[in-house]
Structure 1
């Protein structure tokens, strides 16, 4: 059945479609040929096939283990009835087996096949996108796979050409078809992109929808051609216009002001992250929903976004990202501009890997189901839409070029600005051809407003340029508030002073500024121009671009404070600046105006040393030295420990490790920071260790150490090492300490003990088999001796002349009977020890069996003048046991009790149901009893007690051992209690699982 539509044809069968994207392997084998008919992606990878279709082309030798096992299943499996089987060589670990559900099914062409469904994961772990990619590799038509919610998982290039920028079923208009396919398994219909077929794959929570484009692509209608627009050539640079030349631009309709219809469907958007978890949104709809202020923190690592917006207080999304596994349904409360309430958005994501199986980030989608809240936000923003920004009329082309100094924009002075003059009415616009004005997107509209606001601000605050040695006031960001002036910066101290080569000196002086121990930030208005390394390190930002993306001056929250009395420099002011972590730090600072690239700019210089008094500084330095000494001592102690010690953060990243940990795994200290905790373990142990770490970090109490667990570590060069791991949360709960012990020596000792035990068991089994064979060989001639002696005793072939011969014959017959009994006991004991005793478990009335045994032993009891008393309740439930062995147990116990009870004694036989619903058989006597040491001797084979001779009773010493073995063979519990001169109690308890309900 190898056709171009191979994969699609097999997926017509719902029995196979349910396993198409399953993470466990599933095969469909031919019942008559040694080959695979179909396999899902995971099962195909086990036999080194890149796709399900390639798995059908794999050839197997006739002696292949998989072929032999499938042939056995083909000959033994009943039609249609599944059966669990343990199979070897189907992706299981070396020497292990894989538990699979196997069934014989009939295909559409009336052929028989064997369907093998694994009950556990095996082979190479494949993420959902990779499984989808391999499945679509065998499809010739344009095809795409979607989740049950309609989000795109994977698609072929031909399908992407059809869909364009549409990435979900809602955008494609296939919601109705998706519902029909989910209910019926298949749906056919027409979309704007052509005829399609939707098929349901998977079952339960793993349902996906396969879309096949079955018809030709439809050609889109040609867009209307706009009339040509005249292009104005660029003009020569002119002087900035005067304030009175500002004119209002033509009114541009605000998209937010349009009344949108009520939303009925949930709001959806797609997002993605790179390997550094930098979060980006695929559409502008989400940015419009949350507002420009909130959207300004996007396009950054998720941790920074979550910290800035307080999105993930419980760390669920961070843990899902660190695990690098598929996650869904995590509700994140996103803030929105203009509202104190947060918007609940369900986020789902899946990891993305490149062709080399290297992690490349995440891809996912978000859903907001609160449609009423979204409508309220849209109505609120439409009512409060901002006025269109003023536009600047173009200057006349014949205006003369201003001198070079006029290009420098003046900066605000300490005095408050003069009130604005009323703006004149707009000048009439020149007649232009009727051309439809292009519409602005929301992001372009926002950028246009910001540009107009900044230009207007510059024009309103015009004035004379300050001298380079004039001190600008302290300012706070947005808006810049004036503060008290401070001493000026000497023009010769930094290469920022004004001179004819200012631009060249500015660029050449940057390497010098980067080496200064003081922080320097250069900005103009709200635009950041330059920051040296000391300033970036002190505030916690990696680059100036990162500070700009975080909000620029607005993110620093600069506030002025009074300098402490013991400050080293009384000329400066104490500032409070917010770092990247949101912490406010006090620092001394100064603000200057300088010329930077021929334009005025503000320079903020800060002293990155802590602002403290001399006495407090000395105490802090002493405390710091003491802490450093303690840290060095602690590090030395950890380095001398034989166990490896690692320190992890809550996400499982390795922060540090001692020398033993470095030697254990073969990594250098600097390499640990590039690893996660899961990278240090073999795949079979990784999931258990990470789950245990996740449970430990979620606990409220700071438990220092757990009982520990065993795992298999993976060293740097590829080897494996057995480990014993204990974990504990450090004080504060933000970090976890892990202690790892190499248990290779213990494992070697354990293997030796296991090997010795197996050798002893083999020797015991050999001995038991030897006894069984010898007993069987002796019984045949012994039965002949007993039979001939019996014939001679009864003188069947003539009289015996001497009576003494008759007595000898009786002795021969009695000795043979005792010997045959001994051999039977030996044979039973050897069968029990070898595990070869044939037992037939049926429903037994224990009271009836006990009564028969009491009647059989009554004659012996009368001869020994022993009274037998019984207590057998009529409501005792039946048990599941072997009737012959239960009768043997009762006879042996009665025989021992009668044998060791003197004349006038009693033997009490009873049955009952105890508190744990066990059926119990008890035999108690008033005989001589046994001490603890004698009791241990009695339970050993071929051992007899001194009481046997005292009471004149002999035996082989096999009664109690056989009884105990038979009880355990019937899954019963054997218990004996005895005291000297106080009798013996023997109890045989059948468990509740072997008791039938009445």
Structure 2
């Protein structure tokens, strides 16, 4: 019943009221209990406190009349606690009427016993840092008895660094500064003692600054753990560096071994040499300067057009087109590398054929602006849609078309779309009237870094990557590429894509 009567009050003060009640139930007259609970501060935050519950029985009976609860807040707001305890005791004495019991705080040494029961070190110093009081726990922590340090200066248990920091803090304490910080004291034997310090100004009834009230906790174990952890981290870092050196050396030896094995086969040497040369000259790092060149050339072209100056127009266009060509070449090399590494993925989507052909027609119009070649589109199937990787399919067909434009001086180029019903494929043919290909060279067309004719390499731009990439893209989509050609008359390149899903939109 007593607990129920006080539930309204204690339920507001104590955060875990159930734990509080359980402690009271366990209390006996023979043994005080100590329990850590959290109080609810008026500003909303929680305050950790250590409670000591003391059973006070009625005279001649086992029933209790009241329970003394001694509370020590972590942070040691000691003076506020003692004042509150005294006020509470006086109020309770009035309520209890005729009850008579001694005022324990009037007994000699009461406050010393209270402070002595605190686990932390307690220190009181004057404004200049002279030690006015030190409890036994703190004195023992520093290797002294309490009486040895009374009247001494704080600086007597500090090193030079600590002295300078303390001078600054004592000065700030006068203005009312409260602090919580880590501090390193000097033990009597010269060893360093790491502590957690909570310090607040000490003032009299007239609010005059009288010094500092300080609580000090030993955190040597924590600091040692931090130091041990740092040692382990340093050792780990050293091991990582050693392993990195070993790995680098192993990689170097492995590279040397691979190069030696490659030298056993002439074809492997030639392929590796060609690939290494291209990859060395055209890497990711070239993209940034090339993009800058392209961007600045476009800016220069726009500014010259705005100013009506065309003296360097042709030169700027040459810079722009050359940079674009080089950027495209680098992209092709990187695409081929991604394919070989297995990092290329399909992005399948529904493609509407009419829209797709219009896109290809616009691309061809740009390529044929300076040409007299005739471009023809033949659609030999109903309007429909199909599922494929739009970007990769466009790149395959565009490669066929650009090769046709490159190797066809006069005549025409035809893009034909048809449907292989028996094998369920959509087929795109690119037929030209160009220089054609020798029959012996057709099988090697899709090898990387290869062109059918050395003279063609000199006469026409290209690195021999486009068809190799087109072949790999087609393979990823489950299709096939075929070539028909007669030297001197022209060629037909065909790509067949499976119609996994088609929709008749007529």
Structure with the higher fraction of residues in helix conformation: 2
TM-score normalised per structure 2:
0.40
TM-score normalised per structure 1:
0.21
Q: Which has the higher contact order (CA 8 A, sep 6+)?
A: 2
